[in-house]
Amino acid sequence: MTTAAIIGGGVIGGGWAARFLLNGWDVRVFDPDPEAERKIGEVLDNARRSMPGLSDVALPEEGRLSFHESLAEVVEGAVWIQESVPERLELKQKVYEGLQAHCDAGAIIGSSTSGFKPSELQEQAPRPEQIVVTHPFNPVYLMPLVELVPTAQNTADLVARAKEILTGLGMFPLHVRKEIDAHIADRFLEAVWREALWLVKDGIATTEEIDEAIRMGFGIRWAQMGLFDTYRVAGGEAGMKHFMAQFGPALEWPWTKLMDVPEFTDELVDLIAGQSDAQSGHMSIREMERIRDDNVVSMMRALKAQNFASGAVLNTHDAGLEAKAGMVKRAGDIVDPGQPIVTIRRAVPVDWLDYNGHMTESRYLHAFADATDRLMEIVGCDADYIATGGSFFTAETHIRHIDEAKLGERIEVRTRVLMGEGKKMHLWHEMYGGERLLATGEHILIHVSLETRRPAPFSAEIAENLAMIAGAQSGLPAPDGVGRYVGAPR
């Protein structure tokens, strides 16, 4: 099992611990705070609730988490060391000295710093080439962006390994090619933050009104297109040049105070804190974190369907998870065709729940439809085949809802081919949560020509694969409930 060492167990360190742990890494934590284990435990509770919902594939088995009292213990055998101690340069440099006295020379040391340049971090280090900035965003276990900032001291091999590991965790490593204070993203945040402070101080807007302006407007656009693509679209058919010509003169108008900072007085702090309390004081921080996580998961899952922005990162991660789990993709990969084929293995995400707090009925069909799609792919009806003009249409479906599936529960669909001849395919799906049978789905599909939209024989390859699986599974007992009509007694 691959090991990561987490140095500093605050909000960011805890998020890193969750990101590694839930991706199957063993995680060792060093933090002298006597409350560190409790704090990381609470972060992990949130991560276990929300992070699996980003994937349409089951995450690996969770790694082992341990807490250690010395740097020597925590870095032993670690491939990745993530430093998330307070933002004091002298402290960070002292920590690196201690880490490098004990860690493997080939380990990557990443810093979560939001402001320091990597050259500053490397100044006093025995092995500066080992240290890079890997600045994440909160919550680390959900947000894909991590700013990877190296220097000339870091080899191309180390940067490539860092990118590979971060990508394997489902993150998006943005290689910042030239170091600068606060890197890239935080410089934008600082600009917006300064302007927001002025708007509150000058009585133009409250904290709630500013938040509404962001989350009801440009925040949604930025979440999927960023800044420049958003403005390119705003330029219409004439594109970015037209937008720049139209709005460029506004740069000379005194619209913002980005070069000025309001005096940070007790009165300003009290004003902002009071407005923030009035805005959200009725909720605990843990409640706000869960709301935030549910919203992030739901938005990113919507982007998955479009394979766009952060959704494309999640789809890439899912493909990697499937490969590691050995999920069957072709008939030739089936180890034992005489047994039901595992076509789906995933967790129940937040957007699959209903008002009763369990998986809503339409999502049972969703899961079974995904299982059918996988079986189609296995027998040869994949995207390339469909592009030639042949596919399957569902003619009839019968689902039995037997037990509940709740948020975060890992479900597995096991599929049998009851018949596959001529133009028809008869499938039987069983959904399990552990060993509990949650639902069954019986489906009749007709192979069609997409040109005529009429039934048509399937290809020789599909016919051969369906016959092989159906024949191998024919010795299994008839499924309980097959052919059952709606309302029939169990």
User: Mean of the pLDDT values across residues 145-154?
Assistant: 98
Specify whether 12 is located in the same domain as 56: yes
User: Mean of the pLDDT values across residues 25-42?
Assistant: 96
Specify whether 18 is located in the same domain as 89: yes
Q: In CATH, what number is assigned to the domain containing residue 29?
A: 3.40.50.720
Band of residue 338 on the pLDDT scale cut at 50, 70, 90: very high
Q: In CATH, what number is assigned to the domain containing residue 265?
A: 1.10.1040.10
Q: Is 413 annotated as a binding residue?
A: no
Q: Is 200 annotated as a binding residue?
A: no
In this prediction, residue 236 carries a pLDDT of: 83
Long-range contacts of 448-454 (CB under 8 A, 24+ apart): 448/390, 448/391, 448/392, 448/393, 449/389, 449/390, 450/386, 450/389, 450/390, 450/391, 451/389
In this prediction, residue 469 carries a pLDDT of: 98
In this prediction, residue 240 carries a pLDDT of: 79
Specify whether 153 is located in the same domain as 17: yes
For 165-190, the pLDDT digits (tens) are 999 999 999 999 999 999 999 998 99
Q: Mean pLDDT in the chain? A: 94
At position 22, the amino acid (one-letter code) is: L
Residue 310 lies in a domain: no
**Last residue of a domain, which of 282, 314, 345?**
282
User: Mean of the pLDDT values across residues 469-487?
Assistant: 93
Specify whether 167 is located in the same domain as 199: no
At position 366, the amino acid (one-letter code) is: H
Specify whether 277 is located in the same domain as 130: no
Specify whether 334 is located in the same domain as 425: yes
Band of residue 251 on the pLDDT scale cut at 50, 70, 90: low
Residue 244 vs residue 220, higher pLDDT = 220
For 292-304, the pLDDT digits (tens) are 999 999 999 999 9
Q: In CATH, what number is assigned to the domain containing residue 357?
A: 3.10.129.10
Residue 243 vs residue 4, higher pLDDT = 4
User: Mean of the pLDDT values across residues 60-66?
Assistant: 96
Residue 299 lies in a domain: no
Residue 407 lies in a domain: yes
Q: Is 11 annotated as a binding residue?
A: yes
Q: Is 411 annotated as a binding residue?
A: no
Residue 247 lies in a domain: yes
Specify whether 99 is located in the same domain as 205: no
For 100-115, the pLDDT digits (tens) are 999 999 999 999 999 9
Residues of the chain with pLDDT > 90: what percent? 84
Q: Is 236 annotated as a binding residue?
A: no
Q: What is the 3-state secondary structure (H, E, C) of the chain?
A: CCEEEEECCCHHHHHHHHHHHCCCCEEEEECCCCCHHHHHHHHHHHHHHHHHHHCCCCCCCCCCEEEECCHHHHCCCCCEEEECCCCCHHHHHHHHHHHHCCCCCCCEEEECCCCCCHHHHHCCCCCHHHEEEEEECCCCCCCCEEEEECCCCCCHHHHHHHHHHHHHCCCEEEECCCCCCCCCHHHHHHHHHHHHHHHHHCCCCCHHHHHHHHHHHHHHHHHHHCCHHHHHHHCHHHHHHHHHHHHHHHHHCCCCCCCCCCCCCHHHHHHHHHHHHHHHCCCCHHHHHHHHHHHHHHHHHHHHHHCCCHHHHHHHHHHHHHHHHCCCCCHHHCCCCCCCEEEEEEECCHHHECCCCEECHHHHHHHHHHHHHHHHHHHCCCHHHHHCCEEEEEEEEEEEECCCCECCCEEEEEEEEEEEECCEEEEEEEEEECCEEEEEEEEEEEEEECCCCEECCCCHHHHHHHHHHHHHHCCCCCCCCCCCCCCCCC
Specify whether 340 is located in the same domain as 228: no
In this prediction, residue 416 carries a pLDDT of: 98
In this prediction, residue 143 carries a pLDDT of: 96
The helix-helix angle for 185-201 and 266-280 (nearest 10°) equals 100
Band of residue 272 on the pLDDT scale cut at 50, 70, 90: confident
For 81-104, the pLDDT digits (tens) are 999 999 999 999 999 999 999 999
* Segments forming the whole domain that contains residue 346: 327-473
Q: Is 115 annotated as a binding residue?
A: no
Specify whether 41 is located in the same domain as 143: yes
User: Mean of the pLDDT values across residues 104-130?
Assistant: 96
User: Mean of the pLDDT values across residues 306-317?
Assistant: 94
Residue 129 lies in a domain: yes
Specify whether 57 is located in the same domain as 147: yes
Whether 31 shows a pLDDT value over 70: the answer reads yes
Specify whether 126 is located in the same domain as 87: yes
User: What does pTM read for this prediction?
Assistant: 0.88
8-12, 230-234, 481-485: range with lowest mean pLDDT: 230-234
For 364-376, the pLDDT digits (tens) are 999 999 999 999 9
Residue 210 lies in a domain: yes
Specify whether 212 is located in the same domain as 155: no
How many structural domains is the chain composed of?
A: 3
Residue 287 lies in a domain: no
Residue 105 lies in a domain: yes
Whether 160 shows a pLDDT value over 80: the answer reads yes
